[in-house]
Structure 1
């Protein structure tokens, strides 16, 4: 029994897209700014009212 088997090799190369990196950085920077803004609001405006 003679079988011909073709084996395909797929090589996946990770490409670092600089625009994707910058958009992710901007997204998390915005999250941090919003977080610290809310924290500032709580500490300086709402906490003295209590």
Structure 2
């Protein structure tokens, strides 16, 4: 039962990168989504719902 196994173990090193330009562009993208969403809600509440 004693067999020598030659196994190559692949090692991965994960480095957490925080590229400030990628973080800033992602923040701007989601901030724009929020502004559009709340603008649409404001439009619905202000102009559409009072007509019912």
Q: With structure 2 as the length reference, what TM-score do the two structures score? A: 0.73
Unaligned runs of 5+ in 2: none
- CA RMSD between the two structures: 2.0
Which of the residues 27, 31, 38 maps onto 2:29? 27
Q: With structure 1 as the length reference, what TM-score do the two structures score? A: 0.75
Unaligned runs of 5+ in 1: none
